[in-house]
Structure 1
Amino acid sequence: MNTEMNTDQIAAAVVTAIENIKGQDIVVLDVSKQSALFERMIIASAESTRQTKAIAHNVQVELKALGVPDQGIEGLTSGEWVLLDLGSIVVHIMQPAVRQYYDLEALWSAAADQRNRRTS
């Protein structure tokens, strides 16, 4: 990972790469208190499998150009839900029906609420 860029800068670059391919409903979640594996989760919607794959590819290309190669990618075969592992950031690019079904935003928000209740 590029040591010159911090997590927030990488997240901003990911958001830009998603926006460049017309990704929609982009959400950046700070999950650093819920996960020891990564600090941010970025979730975006794409209208087709082709767009989902194109967004994932653009994120890979743009981040690699900045010195931040991905550590893995899953879901390119079906294209309904593509996950990119960027180390401190995990990117989910999903078609709207899949995103609504799994509702990762609510799942991770519930985890944060549970953690906050335990520490209060």
Structure 2
Amino acid sequence: MSENPSADSVALALHVLEEMKAEDVTVIDLVGKTSLADAMIIASGRVNRHVASIADSLVEALKASGLPTPKVEGMPACDWVLIDTGDIIVHVFRPEVRQFYNLEKMWGADRPNERLVS
């Protein structure tokens, strides 16, 4: 682990999301915006089963990395799964649900300094 655990958590999450073929991945820097977390990652899975697989893989990778067990919400339905590590918050949505809630707009990810990862 480096001196910046949030950066390590983000890098690990992005790696897992890429491996699991998550779509439309967006990273939002929350430093100075809220004390909830340092970063928020928003991603989409194609269907409920894909959302569940992405979330399961991410939780297992976070545990395996030695981080405390993340808090997870939304697993039974898998329309929207939230994974909270303390440093970062990861949202995995079905596309329709993501479009409805539009967290990117709420948290200002439409600004040019936010990072979109394809």
TM class by shorter chain equals: 0.7 to 0.9
Percent sequence identity over matched residues?
Answer: 36
TM-score of the pair, normalised by structure 1: 0.84
2:23·2:45 contact (CA, 8 Å) conserved in 1? yes
Provide Cα deviations, 1:42-84, integer angstroms capped at 9, x if missing partner. Answer: 0000001111011011011111111113331000011000000
Unaligned runs of 5+ in 1: 113-120
- Answer 1 or 2: higher relative contact order, Cα 8 Å, separation at least 6: 2
Q: Counterpart of 1:96?
A: 95
1:46·1:93 contact (CA, 8 Å) conserved in 2? yes
Q: Which has the larger Rg?
A: 1
C-alpha separation in 2, matches of 1:41 and 1:69: 18
**How many aligned positions are there?**
110
C-alpha separation in 2, matches of 1:96 and 1:21: 16
Amino acid aligned to 1:44: A
Provide Cα deviations, 1:77-112, integer angstroms capped at 9, x if missing partner. Answer: 1100000011110000001111111110110018x9
Amino acid aligned to 1:103: N
**Worse overlay, 62-71 or 36-45:** 62-71
TM-score of the pair, normalised by structure 2: 0.86
2:30·2:37 contact (CA, 8 Å) conserved in 1? yes
1:70·1:84 contact (CA, 8 Å) conserved in 2? no
Is 1:53 aligned with 2:79? no
C-alpha separation in 1, matches of 2:61 and 2:3: 16
